[in-house]
Amino acid sequence: MDSPTQTSLAERLSALAATQIKKRRAVESEIRRDFPLCTAAADHVRAEFGPGVKPTYFSEGGKTMGKRGPDFEDNTYKWEWLAMTETERNKSLRGAA
Protein backbone atom coordinates (compact mmCIF):
# COMPACT_ATOMS: atom_id res chain seq x y z
CA MET A 1 0.00 0.00 0.00
CA ASP A 2 1.20 3.50 -0.82
CA SER A 3 2.14 5.78 2.01
CA PRO A 4 0.25 9.09 2.33
CA THR A 5 3.37 10.94 1.19
CA GLN A 6 3.71 8.85 -1.99
CA THR A 7 0.05 9.27 -2.83
CA SER A 8 0.22 12.98 -2.19
CA LEU A 9 3.30 13.28 -4.41
CA ALA A 10 1.65 11.27 -7.19
CA GLU A 11 -1.45 13.46 -7.01
CA ARG A 12 0.61 16.65 -7.13
CA LEU A 13 2.61 15.40 -10.12
CA SER A 14 -0.58 14.41 -11.89
CA ALA A 15 -2.10 17.85 -11.25
CA LEU A 16 1.09 19.54 -12.44
CA ALA A 17 1.10 17.49 -15.65
CA ALA A 18 -2.56 18.33 -16.28
CA THR A 19 -1.82 22.05 -15.81
CA GLN A 20 1.13 21.91 -18.22
CA ILE A 21 -0.95 20.10 -20.84
CA LYS A 22 -3.69 22.71 -20.50
CA LYS A 23 -1.17 25.56 -20.91
CA ARG A 24 0.40 23.86 -23.95
CA ARG A 25 -3.00 23.48 -25.62
CA ALA A 26 -3.81 27.14 -24.96
CA VAL A 27 -0.51 28.23 -26.56
CA GLU A 28 -1.11 25.95 -29.56
CA SER A 29 -4.59 27.40 -29.98
CA GLU A 30 -3.23 30.95 -29.85
CA ILE A 31 -0.55 30.15 -32.47
CA ARG A 32 -3.18 28.63 -34.78
CA ARG A 33 -5.34 31.73 -34.35
CA ASP A 34 -2.49 34.17 -35.01
CA PHE A 35 -0.83 32.22 -37.86
CA PRO A 36 -3.58 30.31 -39.70
CA LEU A 37 -1.81 30.07 -43.07
CA CYS A 38 1.55 29.16 -41.53
CA THR A 39 0.07 26.46 -39.32
CA ALA A 40 -1.95 25.07 -42.24
CA ALA A 41 1.24 24.86 -44.31
CA ALA A 42 3.06 23.18 -41.42
CA ASP A 43 0.20 20.69 -41.07
CA HIS A 44 0.48 19.78 -44.77
CA VAL A 45 4.24 19.28 -44.48
CA ARG A 46 3.78 17.13 -41.35
CA ALA A 47 1.17 15.03 -43.14
CA GLU A 48 3.71 14.34 -45.89
CA PHE A 49 6.91 13.96 -43.85
CA GLY A 50 5.74 13.01 -40.35
CA PRO A 51 5.25 14.64 -36.95
CA GLY A 52 8.95 15.44 -36.52
CA VAL A 53 8.65 18.54 -38.73
CA LYS A 54 9.09 21.59 -36.50
CA PRO A 55 8.82 25.08 -38.01
CA THR A 56 11.39 27.52 -36.61
CA TYR A 57 9.96 30.79 -37.89
CA PHE A 58 6.48 32.08 -38.73
CA SER A 59 5.57 35.45 -40.23
CA GLU A 60 1.98 36.27 -41.09
CA GLY A 61 -0.25 39.32 -40.90
CA GLY A 62 2.53 41.51 -39.50
CA LYS A 63 3.26 39.08 -36.65
CA THR A 64 6.33 36.93 -36.30
CA MET A 65 7.31 34.02 -34.09
CA GLY A 66 10.56 32.12 -33.77
CA LYS A 67 14.00 32.83 -35.13
CA ARG A 68 15.03 33.22 -38.75
CA GLY A 69 17.73 30.81 -39.82
CA PRO A 70 20.99 31.95 -41.44
CA ASP A 71 19.67 30.98 -44.89
CA PHE A 72 16.32 32.75 -44.45
CA GLU A 73 14.70 33.83 -47.69
CA ASP A 74 11.60 36.01 -47.57
CA ASN A 75 9.04 34.05 -49.56
CA THR A 76 6.14 36.37 -48.72
CA TYR A 77 5.33 37.00 -52.36
CA LYS A 78 5.42 33.28 -53.15
CA TRP A 79 3.01 32.45 -50.31
CA GLU A 80 0.67 35.27 -51.30
CA TRP A 81 0.71 33.99 -54.88
CA LEU A 82 -0.11 30.45 -53.71
CA ALA A 83 -2.94 31.75 -51.54
CA MET A 84 -4.58 33.53 -54.49
CA THR A 85 -7.35 31.96 -56.49
CA GLU A 86 -6.71 31.34 -60.20
CA THR A 87 -8.90 34.33 -61.07
CA GLU A 88 -6.89 36.58 -58.73
CA ARG A 89 -3.61 35.35 -60.25
CA ASN A 90 -4.87 36.10 -63.77
CA LYS A 91 -5.94 39.62 -62.75
CA SER A 92 -2.54 40.17 -61.14
CA LEU A 93 -0.74 39.07 -64.29
CA ARG A 94 -2.87 41.30 -66.54
CA GLY A 95 -2.29 44.24 -64.21
CA ALA A 96 1.46 43.66 -64.23
CA ALA A 97 1.68 43.54 -68.05
pLDDT tens digits along 29-79: 999 999 999 999 999 888 988 988 888 888 888 898 888 777 766 655 555
pTM for this predicted structure: 0.56
pLDDT at 97 over 60: no
Cα–Cα distance measured from residue 77 to residue 89, given in angstroms and rounded to the nearest whole number: 12
Domain positions in the chain are 4-72
- pLDDT bracket for residue 25 (50, 70, 90): very high
d(CA 60, CA 38): 7
Cβ contact 57:72 at 8 Å = yes
Give phi and psi for 22, each to the nearest 5.
-65, -45
